Chains A and B, each alone.
Chain A
Amino acid sequence: MKILAVDSSGLVASVALVEDDNLIAEYTVHYKKTHSQTLLPMLDEIVKMTETDLAGIDAIAVAAGPGSFTGLRIGAATVKGLGLALDKPVVGVPTVEALAMNLYGAAGVLCPLMDARRDQVYTGIYRFAGGVLEMEKEPCAVPLEEILAALNVLGEPVTFLGDGVAVYRERIVQEMRIPCQFAPAHVNKQRASAVAVCAQRRMADGGYVSADDFSPIYLRLSQAERERKEREANGE
C-alpha cells in the first residue's frame, strides 16, 4: 500500500511517500517561508525525483491537528484538492500521535509538546507496548503545568519532543520530578513519514474519509465563538 503524507501543522513542512515498510522519499523543511509556498513544490520535487505517478497511490495522509490553525488548513486544503483530483481517500492522523511515532520502540512514555500560545500546549501521552503505539492521554490543549503534573503522577521516565520543547525546556526541567530526556534533532519535530506509518494502521482499520468530508481537528473553538459562549454562560 502506497501512502502520500503531508504535515504542515507546526513550524516544519514535511512530505513523504511510504510504501509498506519502505520510505520512498521524504522532504522536511524547517524554514521561515510559509507552508503555502513550500508544501506543494516539495511534493512536486519528490514526485519528480522518484518518478511517481500519483494515480498509483492508495491514500493521502495528513497531520489533522492539533496545530497552527492556518498550517492545518494549508495541509487540509492540499490533501482535499489532491484527493478530489485523484479520487483517493484521506486519512487524518493526530499530529501528536505522529510525533510519538518518531520515537518508535522508546522505553517509558512519550510526550509531544507543541506551543499552543495563550499559555497552553497541544500535547498527549503515548507509549510503545510490544511495538505498538498506545495512547495514554488523548490529544489536548492544556496548560504546560497540567501535562507535567500528569506525567509526574504516572511516574515513568519521559521523552519530550515537538516544537514546544524549545519554548518550555527550562520549565520542564524545573518541574519534572522523574527522569526525563529530550529527543534529538532528527526525530524531534514533525515528519510526514511518521504520519504515513500511523495512517497505515488506520487504513487497515477503515479509519479514512473521503476528501470531501475531511476537516482538521482544531481542539479549540475560534476566539469569537469562545467569547460568545463565555458571554452566554455569564447570562449576558
Chain B
Amino acid sequence: MEKPTYILAIESSCDETSAAVVSDGRTVCSNVIYSQIDLHKLYGGVVPEIASRKHIEKINQVITQALKEADRTLQQMDAIAVTYGPGLVGALLVGVAEAKAIAYAAGKPLVGVHHIEGHIAANYIEHEDLEPPFICLVVSGGHTHLVRVEGYDRFEILGRTRDDAAGEAFDKVARAIGLEYPGGPAIDRLAREGNREAIPFPRARVEGNEYDFSFSGLKSAVLNYLNQCEMKKLEVNRADVAASFQYAVTDVLTTHAIHAVKESGLNRFALAGGVASNSALRASIKEACEREGIQFYYPSPVYCTDNAAMIGVAGYYEFIKGVRHGWDLNAVPNLKLGQRI
C-alpha cells in the first residue's frame, strides 16, 4: 500500500485556535482545539483583538499537541494547510504567518484553505460514501450559505443571508432574553422546555432569490414581542420565546434546503457549520429528508465548530489537485466561496 498523505492543518479565523493532522483527506489523526469562548463571554461576543492575542499565545502548543497526538513529526507531513479567509483579519493573520513560517522552515508545500469550504469538507470525515455533487447548508455565527457542491473545489452558491447570519440571530435573541454568549447552545437548551407554537414569529420571504435568507426581521419581531410584553406588563415565558424563535429559524432553513435539493435533482444533503450542532435544526432537517427520501449527512459537533481537521480535509483535496500558495500568502477576511487567490 502507498504511504498515506499527511496534512498538518491550522485554523485561527475566529475564537478557536486549532491544529490537526489529517491522513488522505478522510482520516483525522488528531484535532486539537483551544476554545477562547470563556474569555469572550465577558464581552457578550468575540473581541477581535483579544482573540488575536490568545491565538499567538496558544498556537505553538496547539500545533505541537496535534503532532504529538497523531504520533507524527513535522517532517512526516506532506503539506501545511491553513485557513486564510474569511474571518477576522487579525485572527487569520496569526495562523497564516505561523503556517507560512513552519512550511518554509520545514520545506513543505503551503496550501491556503477557505474556511467555509472547510466546514463543508467536515462532512467527508465521518461519511466515507459522501462525494460531490450534493447540496450543503452552511450555518454558523458568521455565515448562512446554501451551496451546491459540484466538486471538492467547485461550489455554486444558491442562496445566502441578506443580513444577519443564522448564528448571529441566535446570539442577539439570546442576549435579549438574558442568556449568555454563545446564544446557539443556550437557546437550544432552553427551547426544549418551551412550546414552539406559542408565538407565531414571521418566516421572512426574500424578494429576488427563493433561496436567500433574512433573519434581521425575525430578530426585530422577537425584540418587539419582548417590548410589548414589558409595556403590557405581561410575564415573558423565555422558554416559549426561545422555542418559537428557534422554530422560525429552523423552519426557514429546512424549507429552503429541501426545496434546493428537490430542484437540484440530487439526492444528497449535508449540514455544516457551528449551528449544524443545533438539535432542533438537525431534527427538523432529518425528518424532512426522511419524508422526501433524501440522504442526510451531518458532522459530529466537534467537526461543526471551528476546527482544523476540516481544514486538513479541504486542504488535502486542494493539495492533490496541485494547489500551492506562495510565501506572500495574505489573510483575506472577505474571501468568497470558491474564490482562489
Contact = CB atoms under 8 A, between A and B. Distances in A.
Contacts of B187: none
Contact of B53 (A44, A78, A222): A222
B231 interface: no
A218 B57 CA distance: 13
B60 interface: yes
B56 A80 contact: yes
B101 A81 contact: yes
A63 B102 CA distance: 19
B56 A73 contact: yes
A176 to B, nearest CB: 34
Contact of A81 (B52, B100, B330): B100
Interface in A26-85: 34, 36-41, 43-44, 54, 69-70, 73-74, 76-85
A205 interface: no
Contacts, number: 110
A37 B105 contact: no
A38 B95 CA distance: 16
Given A36-B93, A70-B93, A224-B50, A84 B328 contact: no
Contact of B101 (A69, A73, A82): A82
A170 interface: no
Contact of B74 (A54, A83, A85): A85
B327 A40 contact: yes
Interface in B25-44: 42-43
B330 A84 contact: no
B243 interface: no
Nearest to A75: B97
A54 B103 CA distance: 13
A216 interface: yes
A228 interface: yes
B167 interface: no
Interface string B128-152: 0000000000000000000000000
Contacts of B42: 228
A222 B47 contact: yes
B330 A34 contact: yes
Given A36-B93, A81-B97, A44 B60 contact: no
Nearest to B89: A70
Contacts of B59: 77, 80
B56 A77 contact: yes
B308 interface: no
A156 interface: no
B170 to A, nearest CB: 21
A76 B105 contact: no
B320 interface: no
Contacts of B63: 84
Nearest to A36: B330
Nearest to B51: A222
Contacts of A152: none
B98 A77 contact: yes
Nearest to B43: A224
Given A70-B93, A77-B94, A224-B50, A212 B100 contact: no
Contacts of A85: 74, 101-102, 104-106
A127 B47 CA distance: 39
Given A44-B327, A70-B90, A84 B102 contact: yes
Contacts of B101: 40, 77-82, 85
Contact of B64 (A212, A223, A224): A212
B331 interface: yes
B242 interface: no
B255 interface: no
Given A37-B328, A224-B43, A80 B105 contact: no
B165 interface: no
Interface in A76-110: 76-86
A21 interface: no
A39 to B, nearest CB: 8
Given A77-B94, A78-B97, A38 B60 contact: no
B62 to A, nearest CB: 10
B96 interface: yes
A44 B100 CA distance: 11
A119 interface: no
Nearest 6 CB-CB pairs, A to B? A81-B101, A77-B97, A85-B105, A222-B49, A40-B327, A212-B60
Interface of B: 42-43, 47, 49-50, 52-53, 55-57, 59-61, 63-64, 74, 89-90, 93-102, 104-106, 326-331
19 contacts: A37-B330, A39-B97, A43-B104, A69-B49, A70-B93, A74-B97, A77-B59, A77-B93, A77-B94, A78-B100, A81-B101, A81-B104, A82-B104, A85-B102, A211-B60, A212-B60, A212-B64, A222-B49, A222-B50
Given A43-B104, A78-B100, A222-B47, 5 more contacts: A36-B93, A44-B104, A80-B101, A84-B64, A215-B53
